[in-house]
Amino acid sequence: MKIHRLISIIMLLLEHKQISATKLAEMFEVTPRTIYRDVDAISLAGIPIVAYPGVNGGISIMEEYKIEKRLFTVSDVTSLLIGLGSIHSTMTSKEILNTMAKIKGLVPEHQIRDIELKSNQITIDHAPWIGNKNINVNLEEIRTALSENRLVVFKYSAQNAIKSQRKVEPYRLVLKNSSWYLQGYCTTRNDFRIFKLSRISSLELLEETFLPREFEYKALELPINIDKKSIKIKLLIDESLRDMMIEFCGEENIEAYENNKFIVSFPFTEDDFSYSMILRLGDKCECLGPENVRLEIIRRAENLLNIYKKREKITPEE
């Protein structure tokens, strides 16, 4: 990981008068060119780096700057640990743990306790309460594939329930709206694709490697059907659903009614997923309008009831 290497280089330069780029390259198993790029990044961060040419030359941090070795304040280190902790909560890695330990080593020992207390005050945990337990396993496999430019193969179930076998060059993992996505080049479709990890199964990390293609690291944008327009519907909900509705559409869209009930202005798309979501709320939620949405919910509820009524006519022997 680049952050691991940058912090390690800073620590080494603080402890030694100077070190050659060749020596640093050997220590981190990279090329001298990579070390010089890292040094440029450190300089851009505001740490004064000096390079001395010649046989006895090397790279060092200005002596005037090294007098004060506390590069980071307690607040700086706390922020770094919170950020790394959020990654570690979903992606177990010895590298991340080692980086966290080294960051703590940048501050005096008497401040470590205070830093640990402050960093534990905020926890970012992306792991779901329930759900597909294979996602974390796949995350580790994909992370290895990303690091080593290795191909992966897996079975994928698309939204239309069509299943396919895919072979992919992985380029990026994205956490968006509490779901993990893989962006990569699908050699099966000969194009870049986005895969939702919860729809991936039987993932296998191959020994086969690939040369990275040109890939634009922009914000993840999922394809949206422009024909499906969102409308506002009115729901009458039980008090037990109020907190859930606040998280979904905001408290400003909820007003008190009577008998511990509330009226909700709810964003809605007329598709199977949205209708199913309303029906899942059962007798705690009633759609008041518009009329066409209310009638469609009634129709779907009647169809469900008919299925169970037919089942009642079948005896256990049958």
Task: State which fold the 2-66 domain adopts.
Answer: Arc Repressor Mutant, subunit A (1.10.10)
Q: Which residue has the higher pLDDT, 8 or 145?
A: 145
Instruction: Give me the pLDDT at residue 135, please.
Output: 58
User: 3-state DSSP helix/strand/coil percent for the chain, to nearest 5?
Assistant: 45, 25, 30
Strands 191-196 and 261-269: unpaired
| pLDDT above 50 (res 272) | yes
At residue 223, the 3 state secondary structure works out as coil
Query: What is d(CA 73, CA 23) in angstroms, rounded to the nearest whole number?
Result: 30
Q: How confident is the model at residue 261 (pLDDT cuts 50, 70, 90)?
A: very high
Report the greatest alpha carbon distance in the chain. 93
- At 100, list the tokens: 């966290």
Phi, psi values for residue 34, rounded to 5°: -65, -40
**CATH 1.10.10.10 residue window(s) in the chain:** 2-66
Distance (Å) of CA 300 to CA 4, 273, 282, 283, 312: 55, 12, 12, 14, 19
Q: Which of 130-134, 199-203, 258-262, 294-298 has the lowest mean pLDDT?
A: 130-134
Task: Report whether the peptide linkage leading into residue 290 is cis, meaning its omega lies within 30 degrees of zero.
Answer: yes
Taking only the tens place, the pLDDT of each residue in 33-84 is 888 888 888 887 777 888 777 777 788 877 666 545 555 666 676 667 766 6
Instruction: Give me the pLDDT at residue 87, please.
Output: 59
**CATH 2.30.30 residue window(s) in the chain:** 134-209
Mean pLDDT of 113-124: 65
Instruction: Give me the pLDDT at residue 93, please.
Output: 58
Across the chain, what does the average pLDDT equal?
78
| pLDDT above 70 (res 139) | yes
Q: Which residue has the higher pLDDT, 109 or 155?
A: 155
Which string of b and e fits 47-72 if b means at least 16 CB within 10 Å?
bebeeeeeeeebbbbeeebbeeeebe
What's 134-209's CATH class? mainly beta
Query: What is d(CA 30, CA 151) in angstroms, rounded to the nearest whole number?
Result: 22
Does the pTM surpass 0.85? The reply is no
Instruction: Give me the pLDDT at residue 224, please.
Output: 44
Taking only the tens place, the pLDDT of each residue in 213-243 is 988 776 666 554 444 578 899 999 999 999 8
Query: What is d(CA 140, CA 92) in angstroms, rounded to the nearest whole number?
Result: 8
The segment with the largest mean pLDDT, out of 154-168, 215-229, 294-308, is 294-308
Q: Which of 102-106, 208-212, 259-263 has the lowest mean pLDDT?
A: 102-106
